[in-house]
A and B are shown apart, each in its own frame.
Chain A
Amino acid sequence: MNDLPPFSHTPAEEISSVHDRVVSSFLKHKTRTIEYRLKQLRSLYWGIKDEEPALTEALKFDLGKSAYEAYLSEIGWCLNDILFVCTNLEKWMKDESAPDIPLTNLLMRPRIRKDPLGAVLIIGAYNFPYQLTLGPLIGAIAAGCTAVIKPSENAPHAARIMQHIVEQSLDPEAYRVVQGAIPETTALLEQKWDKIFYTGNATVGKIIAKKAAETLTPVTLELGGRNPAIVSKNADTKLAARRVLWTKLFNAGQVCVSQNYVMVDREVLPAFLHELGVALKEFQPKGAKDNEDYSHIINERQWSRLKTMLDSTNGKIIYGGHADKETLLFEPTVVQVESADDALIKEESFGPLIPILPVSNLEEAIRTANEVHATPLGLYTFGTNAENAKVLAETRSGGATMNDAMFHASMPTLAFGGVGDSGQGAYRGKSSFDSFTHRRSVTQTPGWMEGMLAVRYPPYTAGKLKKLKQMQDLKPDFDRQGKVKRSLLWLLLSMGGKGTISVGVRWAVFVSLIAIGARLAVSR
């Protein structure tokens, strides 16, 4: 780590030439072949693998992150992602046969090409610097785009080592790193990109979205939310407590998708609070201070923000509460709040604050969740199947986990993204490739078809209109009251089954019964 050049901002005057370089690289079409993309990806794999110690060390400096979390959520995550992408890339790159094409149009071979969007800008975040910066980059490389990545300046050691790895492993004409803060990011946004991929908060997300809109540049925004967890009176409080606590210890709660607050049915509140205490003792037997497994808050600014939030609550601290500016330690802190107006509920903590809001029933929880944030990034519901189904049906969120916290966001190949103001677009697994790909619909019209196409050319005789109607008109299977009509013949033929498989099964059973009956009759 020490032999690397120090973290420094890219000079402003270099930024436009970095942009121009990757744009012209794209226009040279060298990223189009699968060989090129696999070469880059495989090289990146070894680049990351070889720097595991430095990568781990950087996270220790920036976040006090444990080697375990560093591997689980960052290093191992990215390595596996690259391998997964390499294994599937050929399949994904193929043209897709367009679905649902009527017979007459199949002769035009309608298909979907997967074209790279072009030269893209990826802006990373500080809480999972590698995953959130290299993850999108892996998708961009796979899709055949060129890219500039702008790691978060708030995690400068991580930014440094990422720059080193990119420079060592990837084609410098096509993949570059720009370092900096607001001025450098602003300069980057002045350039024209074919896509901007941003991970961070909604405030900056809006700035980026507005800037991108000026040039009709598409964006993927991975933001956050006042994500709710709902614990019903039928929930297993022990499991709920353990699982909810887990996400707030992980990275000291600096996880965009973890629950911001927990609503607990009054009936099980005491049990839940008790179980939180039990779990806390199990997970942090010696407490949070000097705990190798527990990260610190990223910097003073964020630490102070959390401290102010905690100080402004009207609730009661049940566990934790201790914080230390020197070491940026912030204990996991459980606070029982009285109303949804509490600062801990209204704002996104992005830290180890665990406000608990007692509710009378599930309806109240759902109502509150929707009032606090109609479209959060994640949603966590603990209860019976029926209760969980009700919660899902009456809320919206980017993703959701039932009877657990942030699990849906910890599956590396499951598409991950927000909805409404918690984000636009998704990535991970195949959707990383899709996020940087344009699905281009293509048809081809053979020469010999010209006769058949005659119906489309003027003069539009009455005969042509009639023929057209015959060719094109689909018949509704419903009447004027909207009821589906089924002919007797259809009923007989399908034997009441719906769908090919069920009809097939019914026929198979029918035929077998006939065969068995016939056999019996003959053998008697």
Chain B
Amino acid sequence: MLEACRLDLGRSEFETYLSELCWCENDIIFMCNNLEKWAKDEKAPDIPLMNMALSPRIRKEPLGCVLVIGAYNFPIQLTLGPLIGAISAGCTAVVKPSENAPHAAAIMQKIIADALDPSAYAVVQGAIPETSKLLECKWDKIFYTGNATVGTIIAKKAAETLTPVTLELGGRNPAIVSASADPRLAARRLLWAKLLNAGQVCVSQNYILVDRSILPALVSEMRTALKEFHPNGAQSSPDYGRIVNSRQFERLKKMLDSTTGKILIGGTTDAANNFIEPTVIEVESITDPLITDESFGPLIPILAVADLDEAIRVANSIHETPLGLYPFGTRAEVKKVLDQTRSGGASINDGFFHASIPTLAFGGVGDSGQGAYRGKASFDTFTHRRSVTSTPSWIEGLLSVRYPPYAGKLAKFRKQTDLKPNFDRDGRVRIAWTWLALGLGSNSGVGALGRWVALLALALGLRQWTTR
């Protein structure tokens, strides 16, 4: 697998180990440790006393037979990760690895054929024709990782048969660096997000909005960081990956060539081995292609903004629902950014850290994706939560209120079920003084108990002290 990723992506052993092998191995162990717990029926929450006799519970049932379509940038993680969830949930599956990472696809096919039950888990290899053929079949769920264009095609096809989907897409993810941010940390961390896998990461920031006042500092720190990360330059660094193929290389080259911004760092490309240097560009406007398009590569456009409000406005106008969002600033600034934007997930004061915790649920929102996985969410995404109740025979007498004829039953029913509002006609909460006294001002039973114990301890202590 290390060799395959080196061939397909020019990726270092370190990165492949971290983001693919160790990732999947740990995922499996985590699943195995928790599976028994997750598969159990859950007691349904919030059930009123009179309904408890019906033992309402949630069963965890496999959705059925699922299709998993992988991507090329982290071929192992993005193909086997969902498969691991499908297996734990009790589904059978067909896996379609990305043809753009052919060596990884081949090795995964071998592993699956050797390790898994061939009647339940199979691999289909191919490109558009084969994927179309797969989509003609009926699945109980389709899990797709990739871009929004193909995601839309899949969603529309799935809709024809009301097949549920999880879509892990991408976005024009913004990083927002306020005037109060530490430029050194912002530079190192945002660079990291664009060096890993040569920036071919769906969730890394697509562009950076930085307060005008610290733009020079940010760029200068990026220069410093790059010297530390690639002491002999990116092209000769064994740690820096390559673009997956010439088509993607050409796309990135074209993007770079079409910018009206100024290249501040990097800019070198080499078509012979799909090399693109980590390139920092100061762009002029929000209509620059480096901002409006998702690069999915090591392009680092920076746009100066006057203040946080402008940054938030720009971010929302470029993409309302990106996959990730990266605010750097004070607590108050970060809160404002999070409250006034939407995104699949967010890392505060860092590049995509939230997407590097293996057990933290990961997914998009709006057109950056639907559904989530990783950790327990992987099990959940292939599971149907089936609400079940059981009505005992002895309860038939109590149930009589539900059967017609209904004459005289409404009052009885209302007495049993009507809740009382704790607010008046102006929407103000009415204070129930007795409850307040009993609970000593606490909202919960446990809190009230705690307060009573504390009061008692205080009283005893006081007594001890006064009777010394």
- Hey, which bits of chain A sit against chain B, CB under 8 A? 27, 29, 32, 38-39, 42-43, 45-46, 66-69, 71-72, 76, 79-80, 83-84, 86-88, 98-102, 105, 108, 110, 112-113, 115, 117-118, 194, 202, 205-206, 209-210, 212-218, 221, 223, 236, 239, 242-243, 246, 249, 282-285, 291-294, 388, 392, 396-404, 407-408, 411, 413-416, 419-421, 424, 426, 429-430, 438-447, 450, 456-460, 464-465, 468-469, 472-478
Contact = CB atoms under 8 A, between A and B. Distances in A.
B45 A430 contact: yes
A402 B390 contact: yes
A213 B338 contact: no
Interface in B128-186: 140, 148, 151-152, 155-156, 158-164, 167, 169, 182, 185
A216 B423 contact: no
Nearest to A388: B390
A402 B156 contact: no
Nearest to B427: A42
Contacts of B353: 108, 443, 445
Contacts of B238: 460
Given A415-B387, A469-B22, A214 B403 contact: no
Contacts of A407: 54, 389, 391
Given A113-B338, A430-B46, A458-B230, A440 B344 contact: yes
B46 A404 contact: no
19 contacts: A100-B30, A194-B321, A212-B155, A216-B370, A218-B370, A223-B162, A242-B396, A283-B404, A402-B389, A403-B390, A403-B391, A414-B387, A424-B162, A440-B343, A441-B346, A457-B188, A458-B240, A474-B26, A474-B29
Interface stretch (B58-66, B74-82, B245-253, B281-289): B58-66
B376 interface: yes
A100 B365 CA distance: 23
A228 to B, nearest CB: 15
List 5 A-B pairs, minimum CB-CB distance, nearest first. A404-B391, A460-B14, A213-B155, A209-B159, A444-B348
A444 B152 contact: no
Given A38-B427, A458-B195, A459-B231, A421 B390 contact: no
B240 A214 contact: no
Contact of B361 (A88, A439, A465): A439
B106 to A, nearest CB: 24
Interface in B410-447: 410, 413-414, 417-423, 425, 427
A427 B122 CA distance: 35
A501 to B, nearest CB: 13
Given A83-B421, A117-B365, A399 B390 contact: no
A425 B402 CA distance: 28
Contacts of A468: 14, 17-18, 22
Interface of B: 12-15, 17-18, 22, 25-26, 29-30, 32-34, 44-48, 51, 54, 56, 58-59, 61, 63-64, 140, 148, 151-152, 155-156, 158-164, 167, 169, 182, 185, 188-189, 192, 195, 228-231, 237-240, 316, 321, 334, 338-340, 342-350, 353-354, 357, 359-362, 365-367, 370, 372, 375-376, 384-393, 396, 402-406, 409-410, 413-414, 417-423, 425, 427
B349 A404 contact: no
Residue of A32, A87, A112, A413 with highest tally of chain B CB at under 10 A: A413
A420 B162 contact: yes
Contacts of B45: 413, 429-430
SS class, residues of chain B in contact with chain A: mixed
Contacts of A108: 353, 357
Given A83-B419, A101-B357, A468-B18, A440 B387 contact: no
B349 A401 contact: no
Nearest to A209: B159
Given A68-B406, A457-B192, A39 B427 contact: yes
A438 B365 contact: yes
Nearest to B389: A408
Contact of B229 (A239, A242, A438, A459): A459
Contacts of B231: 459
Nearest to B156: A213
Nearest to A426: B385
B421 A45 contact: yes
A212 B159 contact: yes
Given A38-B427, A459-B229, A473 B22 contact: yes
B393 A408 contact: no
B347 to A, nearest CB: 5
Contact of A105 (B33, B316, B357, B422): B357
A442 B388 contact: no
Contacts of A29: 339-340
Contact of B349 (A87, A205, A444, A475): A444
Given A68-B406, A239-B393, A414 B385 contact: no
B343 A420 contact: no
A398 B418 CA distance: 28
Contacts of A88: 46
